[in-house]
Amino acid sequence: MANEKREKFYITTAIAYASGKPHFGNTYEVIATDALARYKRQRGYDVRFMTGTDEHGQKIQSKAEACGLKPQEFVDKTAKDIKGIWDLMNTSYDYFIRTTDSYHKAAVEHIFKKLYNQGDIYKGYYEGLYCTPCESFFTETQLVDGKCPDCGREVIPAKEEAYFFKMSKYADRLMEHIETHPEFIQPESRKKEMINNFLKPGLQDLCVSRTSFNWGVPVSFDPKHVTYVWIDALSNYITGLGYDPDNEVQPELFQKYWPCDVHVIGKDIVRFHTIYWPIMLMALGVELPKKVFGHPWFNFGMDKMSKSKGNVVYADELASRFGVDGVRYFALSEMPYANDGSITYEAVIHRFNNDLANNLGNLVSRSIAMTKKYFGGIIPAPQGDEGVDSELKSVCKECTAKFMELMDTYHISEAVEQVFIMLSRANKYIDETTPWILAKDESLKARLGTVLYNLLEVIRISAVLLTPIIPQTCEEIFKQINSTLDTYASIEDFGELQSGIVLGDSKILFARIDEEKMLAEVQAELEAKAKADKAPQKPEGCAIISIDDFMGVELRTAQIIECEKVPKAKKLLKLKVDLGYETRQVVSGIAKFYEPDDLIGKKVIVVANLAPAKLCGIESQGMLLASGEETIRVVFLDKDTPNGERVR
């Protein structure tokens, strides 16, 4: 048996973008993946669970510069913070990959070169509307209200030399794979979206390099280009197993675990994992992953979590109130299979009190306390079987079978529900059998022992099933019932718990929360934070510049002499400004805040030595000085200010 080859199971999360602290919605993904990995280990699989961080790109380079750090210094810190959250949530990953790891970068260089050499990548030019946070180009028709369709942020016109991947070359082959492997994209709604919205309309060639920034994996044969995020980031799933496209024989780790059994990802990046990624693998001659599961999002109430909305919840903050297992339990019990979940403090407290404190915690506490009171803490031997016992056992068997079926198909919240159906039935069983009444009659002691044994066995079976969900709590339960029978083999039949064993020390698993008190505390903290956020603050982490750097920015006074709206651009105004020595055309995103007629004649400050740029096809020869982000306020000067004065 020791040498028996176990079936492998390779599971991954999407690698977290190392631009900042992950919110609860991001953290859900690694918790859910961890639960699936733990479950498979319990079932005897040889599991490899990989997660990590995506550390390249324009957004990270810009953030690092704003903080006065080198990009590598910035991602070293953020990757450590992300890994810290994953560790706090007790996730049992086997490997944490970073896209700045030297072996990964070397493999990406080789992958890019191989695809280029075999004609799948070619050089061209890309012109479009670019979203920096998403690092994606879009056409006008793809925008939603003039903004990025994925994140809702502003887009900017951009044109640059780039390399492209020939997506259309493999489109028919991918469609055939999806049709012959109906389990490849899950849930089913995601598959329909990919087919109807992207594959059937026809795939455009994919931009796979950038020249407007340099924080990335360089293209080895054209170093002014860096590899764009999708080849770099997506390749981690195979480079983390040692894959090298130049080797005919791949390393043992790759041979053992690839193809991946499931990529667990957010629904917003399903397109990249079910279209771009499999096409890249086809081009490389690598087998496709077996499944891509695009999980839904956690919203705060009814709104998507967003730092700009101020409704972001963090896992570590929740853990300080509810404990790690309290957070894990809420995440895994509340998120539906296909539809978005919702998190509010009221919902977390409700789950914590009703499910963990009452249903589970109270059952464990009462059962152990009665065993200690009536049998001196020794697990009694069951004797006989009455009708109510058979019903309890039947519920346990049914719920256990359903739990495994649901976990095998990634319906985690529904699987958790089955365990709590079992626990609810056990609590009802106490009311039906009334152990405290049985204890009053010595002739019924055997019956009392059977009842308490059955309760302890239900608790043990529940702890086996809940181990992937709330592992620390289940470890404590096994200590309290003094049992090491934690395998699935031990729950095939009811009654494996050994009698005659002395129970361990009892501890409260989950103390009930005072909802009114906690909500008042949370509200007070939110109000204090909102007040602090509104107060002007000294910028943190901005790079210090010299007087020479500042003097390199030429600010000039000017007067707006013409102003009109830009057609098909809701936010842009086209202005003509008089600098005294010349007139300039400036395009500015202030249409939401100012009407053209209100600006004509106003004296403003213009960044006069800014390189010209095109916004919606219109050249802008400068920028207006303004303040604010959500609300833009242009800096206006006294009407007597001469045009063309240098601002110092």
Kindly report, residue by residue over 323-382, the tens digit of the pLDDT: 999 999 999 999 999 999 999 999 999 999 999 999 999 999 999 999 999 999 999 999
The predicted model gives 614-642 an average pLDDT of 84
Residue 612: its pLDDT value, please? 84
- Could you give the residue range(s) of every CATH 2.40.50.140 domain in the chain? 547-637
Name the one residue in this structure whose structure tokens are 């560790």.
87
Q: How far apart are CA 383 and CA 368, in angstroms?
A: 19
CA 430 vs CA 356, 451, 473: distances in Å? 18, 8, 22
Asked whether the predicted pLDDT for residue 525 surpasses 60, the reply is yes
Residue 1: its pLDDT value, please? 40
Contact 178, 185 (CB under 8 A): yes
Asked whether the predicted pLDDT for residue 234 surpasses 90, the reply is yes
Contact 92, 13 (CB under 8 A): no
pLDDT in tens, 428-485: 999 999 999 999 999 999 999 999 999 999 999 999 999 999 999 999 999 999 999 9
Q: Is 454 helix (H, G, I), strand (E, B) or coil?
A: helix
Smallest CA-to-CA distance from 165 within 134, 216, 200, 124 is with 124
What percent of the chain has pLDDT above 90? 75
- Of 69-83, 113-127, 129-143, 150-164, least confident by mean pLDDT is 129-143
- Could you give the residue range(s) of every CATH 1.10.730.10 domain in the chain? 360-491
Top mean pLDDT of 67-81, 153-167, 531-545 is at 67-81
Give per-residue burial for 210-231: e unless 16+ CB within 10 Å, then b.
beebebbbbbeeeeebbbbbbb
Residue 304: its pLDDT value, please? 60
Residue 2: its pLDDT value, please? 45
Asked whether the predicted pLDDT for residue 305 surpasses 70, the reply is no
Which H or E run includes 565? strand 555-565
pLDDT in tens, 395-427: 999 999 999 999 999 999 999 999 999 999 999
- Of 94-98, 515-519, 604-608, 637-641, least confident by mean pLDDT is 637-641
Task: Give domain 360-491's CATH architecture.
Answer: Orthogonal Bundle (1.10)
Residue 90: its pLDDT value, please? 98
- Residue 141: DSSP 8-state: G
The confidence band for 163, taking pLDDT boundaries of 50, 70 and 90, is very high
Q: How far apart are CA 315 and CA 235, in angstroms?
A: 28
The confidence band for 539, taking pLDDT boundaries of 50, 70 and 90, is low
Structure tokens at 262: 């499931």
Q: Is 506 helix (H, G, I), strand (E, B) or coil?
A: coil
- Of 221-235, 289-303, 312-326, 530-544, least confident by mean pLDDT is 530-544
Asked whether the predicted pLDDT for residue 301 surpasses 80, the reply is no
Strand pairing class (8-13; 262-266): parallel
DSSP string across 375-426: HTTBPPPP----HHHHHHHHHHHHHHHHHHHHHHTT-HHHHHHHHHHHHHHH
Q: Is 340 helix (H, G, I), strand (E, B) or coil?
A: coil
The predicted model gives 251-262 an average pLDDT of 98
Asked whether the predicted pLDDT for residue 228 surpasses 80, the reply is yes
Q: What is the mean pLDDT of the chain?
A: 92
Looking at per-residue pLDDT, the higher value among 232 and 638 belongs to 232
Which H or E run includes 432? helix 412-433
Residue 307: its pLDDT value, please? 53
Asked whether the predicted pLDDT for residue 613 surpasses 90, the reply is no
Asked whether the predicted pLDDT for residue 210 surpasses 80, the reply is yes
Structure tokens at 247: 């080797």
Structure tokens at 28: 């859900």
Asked whether the predicted pLDDT for residue 568 surpasses 80, the reply is no
The confidence band for 152, taking pLDDT boundaries of 50, 70 and 90, is confident
Residue 541: its pLDDT value, please? 47
Looking at per-residue pLDDT, the higher value among 569 and 231 belongs to 231
Name residue 607's beta-bridge partners: 555, 623
Residue ranges of alpha helices (H) inside 164-228 are: 168-180, 188-194
Residue 535: its pLDDT value, please? 64
Looking at per-residue pLDDT, the higher value among 160 and 241 belongs to 241
The confidence band for 547, taking pLDDT boundaries of 50, 70 and 90, is low
263: CB partners within 8 A, 6+ apart: 12, 14, 237, 273, 289, 291, 292, 293
Residue 630: its pLDDT value, please? 62
Residue 551: its pLDDT value, please? 67
CA 197 vs CA 193, 200, 218, 511: distances in Å? 6, 7, 32, 49
What is the CATH T-level fold of the domain 547-637, as seen in this structure? OB fold (Dihydrolipoamide Acetyltransferase, E2P) (2.40.50)
Contact 410, 186 (CB under 8 A): yes
The confidence band for 614, taking pLDDT boundaries of 50, 70 and 90, is confident
Looking at per-residue pLDDT, the higher value among 570 and 237 belongs to 237
Looking at per-residue pLDDT, the higher value among 539 and 353 belongs to 353
